[in-house]
Every structure is written in structure tokens, then in C-alpha cells.
Structure 1
Amino acid sequence: MQIEYLKIFTEIASAKSISKVANSSHITQPALSQQIQKLEESLGHKLLERSNRGVELTDAGKIVEKYAKIIVKAFEDILEDLENLSDYSTVKIFASPSMATYALPCTMYLIKEQFPNYTLNLTSEFSAAIEQNVAGDICQVGFIHGKPADPSLMFSKVGTDRLVAVAAQDFAIPGVITLKDLVKHPLIMLTDRFEERKYLNNYLAQKGISPDKCNIVMNLDSIESVKATILKGYGLSFIPYISIKKELYTKELKEINVTDFNLNYDIYIIYKKEMDSSKSSKALVQYIKKVGEKSFC
């Protein structure tokens, strides 16, 4: 079994189409189908169900996709590390989507000024995967929501964010409203892959509000998609404050005054204990802790 077969498989699983991947990779469709067939034969399971509408993962395919992504990413990191063998100053940072997109770019600029010999690579990922990547040496530093579940990881609180109920300025809604009444309005939500959505689900459950009582019109897989949709006036949403500070300041969006809603959560930096064994890497971590929330964008 070749790494390339796994890479092609993950691309097909994501696109749900062999023909699309064939076009983008400049490999003939029969050649791709043959690679998938060889992968299925080597694993002893059918991975894809083919139809005129494209392809769907089988149960076995879903399992393989989960681990194939990790394997492919690890192999790419091996190649990258080998290329940088003579330069140990590359620091890979993984962070939750809201942190990677809206908070950390400014922080990384300050880090680069303080540590000019470091090359900083920032990747967006979800908290559980970030823990795995830090523990597995895929990256050196992670930023996650809440404390890590892995007891072997070092961690420190670096900031706090909150979920905010927001809508377009001209969206018709009372100036003050209860949470129970708010969720009757059209809701544009993040998918449950986001920690913020999980926090919200738990909060609503504590308030006795079940999902079927919420007027959820769509679930979107990026904060920017949610923002674009609510800016069009199609509904309101609960999204991280750090992601909409600019729009609130420019008055493109408005924060809704929900009398019984207050959802804050902590942001933690995580890293392995080995980071403290090197003077330079320890200094880097200590500096990140120091600048923390003060330098978030």
C-alpha cells in the first residue's frame, strides 16, 4: 500500500467524486479507479460506493478516511522536516478555527519580531485533533478551548472568549429579548464540529431548550460563511466575539441583548514538556503566555 493511494483516497472522499479529482490531479479516471481498487484489495474492504451521482464512503471507508488523513499529514510533515533538517527553528502551531483566523495572526507577528530566527507555521484545526498533533509531535504548540484531556501535555490559560448573539443592523428583533424567544428567530449555526457549537448546545440544554425548539435554518462549516449569511439578513447567530469585533465596531452587525445568556470559555496554550528542556523553545512558550490576550487581533 502506497501513501499516494491514501492521499488520492482522502481527496476523493472529500470531493465525493473520482472525476473531479482526476481533473484536478491530471490523472486519468481509470488510473484513479485502479489505485482505489488496489487500496481496497490491500485492506480487504470496499471503501467507496459508486453511482451516477458520485461516490459515498462505506462504513469501512469512513474508518480509513479518518486515519488516512493523519497518515498523509504525518508523511507530508516528514518530508517537510527532512527538508528543514539543518534548520530546527521552524515552529508549527495548530489552533482552533476562531483563534487561527482572527486572534493569532497578530500574535504571530509579535512573536516573529521577538524571535526573528523562528519560522512560524499556523494551521487551523479542532481541539481534539490539536491535542493529538501536539502529543504526536506533529506540531509543537497548540491553542485549544478548555484544558487538554491528555494529562501528559503542559497547558496554560492565555485568554477568554465569549459567544455573542448577533444579527445584521436592520434585522427586526426586539432590543432586549430572552433566550427562549431568541431561538424562535431564524438561526444560522456553526456545525457541531466547532467547540463553540458544543458549548452552545450544552448551555441551551441547561436552560431547558431542546434543539427541536430552535428555528435552525442552516448549519455552516465556517465562521466566515455564517457572518456572510447573517450580513445578508437571513437570520441571526451565536458566534465567537473575537470573530466579529470588527463588524460590531463598524456597525455592520449588532449584538443582541439576551437577558439570560452569558457564555464564556477559556483559551489554553498546550505543548509537550520537552519544550521546556530547550532554553530557546522555553523562552518562546513563555513569551506566548506573556503576550496572550493582549496581542490577539
Structure 2
Amino acid sequence: MHIESLKYFQEIAKVKSISKVASNSHISQPALSQQIQKLEDFLGKELFIRSNRGVKLTESGEIVLKYADNIIRIYNKMIADLNDQESKEIKIEGEYTIATYCLPCAILNMQFKFPKHKYNLVAASSDKIEQDVLSDICEVGFTTHPAQAKNLYSEEVINEKVVLISPPAFDLPEKLKLEEILAHKFVILKEDCIIKEKFKDALGDLDHNFSEIDVITQLDSTEAIKTLVRKGYGVAFVPYNAVRDEFSAKEINVSRIKDYDLDYDIYMINKRAEFVSQDVKEFTANFKKLGKHICY
């Protein structure tokens, strides 16, 4: 099986059109169809149902698509490692908020300690990070939950402080009880995240339901949330590291909830010592020594 055929298959499954992929890839449609036919012949399964309106995955095609992304990324990682044998780059993945606001500061500290190390930090969804560590697509992952796989090691390394941000005009105090803010309008993230989970649990303790909260909108990013809060639309719970600059510039107010702990731990996950390079061993061992409040 040629890896290029699998890449073409993945792209066709995404856009549901062989002709569009052929045009985008600057390859003739007959040549692309031949590539897919060879893949189907190799697997012994029909992958697409073809019609005048495009293509649709067969049941076998759905199975192949489930594994295609991981196979392609492992292949790309192998090629990168072959090309970078001298660089000893450590590939790190973190959940989106962690990778954006928390880890850059921590990795900079590590860079000062190990100037010969090279780090490649990318953001990834939580469901991919553990699989990527298992598959050697990255060496180290950072998530808000410990690893589930038995052959992975995970440890709490950072404590992320969660704060309530509000427009200065609201004039909220630095410390308040959760009950005192429930009448406000909230801006929250769309996807499930640990801040939302802990907020829901705290509401349950107060005999409130999350559905009773006045949520004016659910957004895809913390940056979008900060924008709406700065403009005065409502309040939001976010990691403190995400709003340090805005707080210093007095664009927003920051408050702490004094009767509930909404802070959370960040876990570093990696393969056990016997399966990682010396550089990764040095990184993980010394990252733990930075302390849980790395950027404060």
C-alpha cells in the first residue's frame, strides 16, 4: 500500500469528490481513480460508492478512514525523525488552552536549562494527545486528565488557577461567592472542558442546574470569550494565564471564587523511561522540578 494513495483516499473522503481532489492535487482524474482502485485492490474492499453526485464511503471505507489519519501522521513522524536525526527535537502536544497560554512560558524555562534541546509545541484535542504519545507521534503530552493507557506514565505537573473575568464597569470584588455571580450573563466555551465540568459540579452543590444559567453564547476559543467580556457582554471563567496581559492593562477585572475551588491540575503524559530518548528523560525529569505554578 502506497502512503500517497491513503492520503488521496482521506482527502476524497473529506470533500466527497474525486474530481475536486484531482483538481486541487494537480493530477488527472483517471490517474487519481487508478490510485484509489489500487488501494481498494490491495485491501480487497470497495471503499467508495460512486455516483454522478460524487462519492460516499462504504462501511469498509469508514473503517479505513478511522485509521488513515493516524497511519499518515505516524508515517510523517517517521520521515521527520529520519530527516532530523541530529536535531533531537522533542515533539510536545497540549490541549488547546494549555498549549496556547500555559506551556510556552514553561517550555521557555526548559529552553534556558537545556539550550541544546529543540522543542516543537502544537495544540491538539484531548482525545488525540494520549493516542499520539502511544503512537510516537509526539513524545510528551499535557492534558487535564491522567493517562488511561496502562503503558503510559502521567503525573500532575502544573496547577492552573481559574478566575472569573468581568468588564471593569461591573466593578466586581476580587473575591466573591459563587452564588453572588449567578445572576450575571455568562460567556462559555462550546466544547466540554474541565473548567465547565467543575463549574457544573459547583452549581450542583448549590442545587442549581447549568441549564438555569444565563449563557448568552458559547464560543470556540478563549480569545473570543475575552473579546466579548472586554466589550461588556458578560462574565466568564478562564485560566488566569489566558488573561494576565488584559488584567495588567486593566481591560478586564479578575475575581476569585472563595467558596469553591475551580482550579485544576495539568498532567504530563509520556511513555515510561525505558521507551524514550535521553533528551525526553531530561525534559520530563526537570519539568517536574519547575513547580506547579510555573508562570506566576
TM-score band, normalised by the shorter chain? 0.7 to 0.9
Give runs of aligned pairs for residues 54-93 of structure 1, distance below 5 A. 66-85=66-85, 87=86, 89-93=88-92
| Cross-structure match for 1:137 | 136
| Cross-structure match for 2:281 | 282
State the TM-score, normalized to the length of structure 1: 0.76
In 2, Cα distance between the equivalents of 1:210 and 1:55?
Answer: 44
Contact 1:10 1:65 in 2 (8 A): yes
Cα shift at 1:40: 9.1
| Cross-structure match for 1:109 | 108
In 1, Cα distance between the equivalents of 2:57 and 2:184?
Answer: 35
Cα shift at 1:117: 2.4
In 1, Cα distance between the equivalents of 2:130 and 2:289?
Answer: 22
Contact 2:139 2:280 in 1 (8 A): no
Matched, 1:236 2:235: yes
User: Given residue 117 of structure 2, which amino acid in structure 1 is its aligned partner?
Assistant: Y
State the TM-score, normalized to the length of structure 2: 0.76
In 1, Cα distance between the equivalents of 2:50 and 2:259?
Answer: 47
| Cross-structure match for 1:217 | 216
Cα shift at 1:93: 1.0
| Cross-structure match for 2:268 | 269
In 2, Cα distance between the equivalents of 1:57 and 1:168?
Answer: 49
In 2, Cα distance between the equivalents of 1:164 and 1:147?
Answer: 23
Contact 2:48 2:57 in 1 (8 A): no
Cα shift at 1:160: 0.6
Moved more, 34-43 or 181-190: 34-43
User: Given residue 84 of structure 1, which amino acid in structure 2 is its aligned partner?
Assistant: D
User: Given residue 295 of structure 2, which amino acid in structure 1 is its aligned partner?
Assistant: F
Give runs of aligned pairs for residues 149-164 of structure 1, distance below 5 A. 149-164=148-163
How many residues end up aligned between the 2 structures? 293
Contact 1:190 1:223 in 2 (8 A): yes
In 2, Cα distance between the equivalents of 1:47 and 1:138?
Answer: 32
Structure 2: gaps (5+ residues): none
Moved more, 172-181 or 90-99: 172-181
Mark the CA change 1:57 to 1:260 in structure 2 (over 3 Å): closer, same or farther: farther
In 2, Cα distance between the equivalents of 1:166 and 1:50?
Answer: 53
In 2, Cα distance between the equivalents of 1:66 and 1:219?
Answer: 29
Moved more, 212-221 or 12-21: 12-21
Contact 1:166 1:239 in 2 (8 A): yes
Moved more, 138-147 or 34-43: 34-43
Mark the CA change 1:114 to 1:255 in structure 2 (over 3 Å): closer, same or farther: closer
Provide the alpha-carbon RMSD of the alignment: 4.1
User: Given residue 160 of structure 2, which amino acid in structure 1 is its aligned partner?
Assistant: D
In 2, Cα distance between the equivalents of 1:240 and 1:67?
Answer: 34
Question: Secondary structure of the residue that 2:136 maps to in structure 1?
Answer: coil
User: Given residue 69 of structure 1, which amino acid in structure 2 is its aligned partner?
Assistant: D
Contact 1:161 1:241 in 2 (8 A): yes
Identical residues among aligned pairs (%):
35
Question: Secondary structure of the residue that 2:99 maps to in structure 1?
Answer: helix
